[in-house]
Amino acid sequence: MSEQTFHITGEDVRKMESKESKFHGGKTPKDSDISAMKQLLSEQGSKQDQIDRVKANLPLPDPPSEEQVQISSPRTNAP
């Protein structure tokens, strides 16, 4: 038996919020599960912010050695 990943998008939350609000006169109750999920999604930030944070923590590659530069560019090595 395999484990499934639990993943909810912002669009999923909006759909659930719409259904929930229909039962409560157009307003979502503050103590509902939907309100809690909205709060969690808003705290996560945007996808681009997450990508930028990860990129900032990645190490920079080592500069190419002199030998690698000569090998990669045979036109400059011709006699």
For 9-30, write each residue's pLDDT tens digit: 778 888 888 888 888 888 878 8
Q: Count how many domains the chain has.
A: 1
Q: What is the pLDDT of residue 4?
A: 53
How is residue 36 written in tokens?
């809690």
Q: What is the pLDDT of residue 1?
A: 44
Residue 36 lies in a domain: yes
Residue 30 lies in a domain: yes
Residue 69 lies in a domain: no
Contact present, 34 and 19 (Cβ < 8 Å)? no
Residue 26 lies in a domain: yes
Per-residue model confidence as pLDDT tens for the chain (79 residues): 445 556 777 788 888 888 888 888 888 788 888 788 877 777 776 778 878 888 888 888 888 888 877 776 556 555 5
Q: What is the pLDDT of residue 62?
A: 85
Q: Which domain holds residue 32?
A: 8-46
